[in-house]
């Protein structure tokens, strides 16, 4: 077997931590999975326990098609061995692997809270490697409970979109997203860079959108103000989820 590409990360996780990105994958990638002869998804770096891979398989089976297969990959052989009791081949498997994807050819790769632990100059190579066989990559980070998250959609090594997602009852200000930006952006959140301008504009729209009708209505009003000066993708059905997707800021 080829030596896995990457390094062992902290591996901390919690149940339901990745529910927001899982729902996005079902929405954004559902058509790709439905059309595939073999609807395979790789969960790269699932962590010390396999719970998020188990949840990903269940969510995609329910929302997309029941025969979706998920393979969890980890570099740490101890984690791979610990996950085996939860395997349900061929629908759910756990193997040792890294950015090279263990030779698999998935339709979609989810890599969450992995590259955050790498140096920024390693991100581009990781993106290229994970998408080299044509897979669409969803890569990002979130807080410990999954209430604040951001992620990139990457194709052929090139970032296409950036998504911000929050549990709106816990969102005190859009500046909170800055702490959870993908590794490729987090050090660019300084004046003069597009992602800084994006978050500043979103914050200004939030501050101008106070409403007595609750956090969801404030968020919807914020997005409406924000989209006057920034291109916003998708539509109100996604915005109501506390989700906002824009072209990759560059």
pLDDT at 33 over 80: yes
In a domain? residue 204: no
| Tokens at 31, concatenated | 């058509």
Percent of the chain with pLDDT over 90: 90
| pLDDT tens string 177-230 | 999 999 999 999 999 999 999 999 999 999 999 888 899 999 999 999 999 999
Pairwise CA distance, residues 72 & 23, whole Å: 18
Say if residues 19 and 26 touch (Cβ distance below 8 Å): no
| pLDDT tens string 144-153 | 999 999 999 9
In a domain? residue 218: no
Pairwise CA distance, residues 207 & 72, whole Å: 41
Q: What is the pLDDT of residue 5?
A: 63
Burial class (CB in 10 A: 0-12, 13-18, 19+), 124: middle
In a domain? residue 173: no
Q: What is the pLDDT of residue 8?
A: 63
Residue 29's φ and ψ, nearest 5 degrees, are: -110, 0
Burial class (CB in 10 A: 0-12, 13-18, 19+), 238: buried
Number of structural domains (the chain) is: 1
Pairwise CA distance, residues 81 & 170, whole Å: 37
Pairwise CA distance, residues 219 & 210, whole Å: 9
208, HSE (Cβ side, Cα atoms, 13 Å)? 11
| pLDDT tens string 52-70 | 999 999 999 999 999 999 9
pLDDT at 100 over 70: yes
Pairwise CA distance, residues 244 & 229, whole Å: 14
Say if residues 43 and 72 touch (Cβ distance below 8 Å): yes
Q: What is the pLDDT of residue 212?
A: 82
* Residue 87 belongs to domain with CATH number: 3.40.50.150
In a domain? residue 188: no
In a domain? residue 201: no
In a domain? residue 90: yes
* Domain extent at residue 243: 19-167+231-247
Name residues whose C-beta falls within 8 Å of residue 35's C-beta, 6 or more positions apart in sequence: none
In a domain? residue 187: no
In a domain? residue 221: no
Pairwise CA distance, residues 40 & 203, whole Å: 38
- Give the per-residue SS3 of 66-128: CCCEEEEEECCHHHHHHHHHHCECCCEEEEECCCCHHHCCCCEEEEECCHHHCCHHHHHHHHH
pLDDT at 245 over 60: yes
Number of helices (H), then strands (E), in the chain: 8, 8
């Amino acid at each position: 077997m080829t030596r896995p590409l990457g390094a062992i990360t902290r591996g901390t996780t919690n149940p339901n931590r990745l529910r927001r990105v899982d729902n996005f994958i079902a929405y954004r990638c559902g058509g790709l999975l439905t059309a595939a002869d073999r609807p395979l998804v790789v969960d790269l770096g699932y962590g010390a326990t396999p719970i998020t891979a188990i949840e990903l398989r269940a969510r995609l089976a329910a929302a997309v098609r029941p025969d979706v297969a998920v393979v969890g990959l980890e570099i740490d052989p101890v984690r791979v061995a610990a996950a085996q009791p939860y395997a349900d081949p061929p629908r759910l498997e756990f193997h040792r692997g890294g950015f090279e994807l263990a030779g698999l050819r998935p339709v979609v790769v989810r890599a969450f809270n992995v590259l955050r632990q790498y140096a920024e100059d390693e991100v581009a190579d990781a993106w290229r490697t994970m998408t080299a066989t044509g897979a669409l990559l969803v890569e990002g980070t979130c807080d410990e409970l999954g209430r604040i998250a951001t992620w990139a959609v990457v194709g052929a090594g090139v970032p296409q979109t950036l998504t911000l997602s929050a549990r709106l009852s816990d969102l005190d200000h859009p500046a909170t997203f800055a702490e959870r930006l993908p590794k490729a952006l987090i050090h660019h959140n300084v004046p003069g860079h597009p992602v800084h301008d994006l978050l500043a504009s979103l914050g200004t729209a939030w501050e101008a959108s106070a409403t007595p009708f609750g956090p969801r209505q404030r968020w919807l009003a914020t997005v409406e103000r924000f989209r006057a000066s920034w291109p916003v993708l998708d539509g109100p059905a996604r915005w109501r989820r506390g989700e906002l997707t824009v072209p990759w800021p560059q």
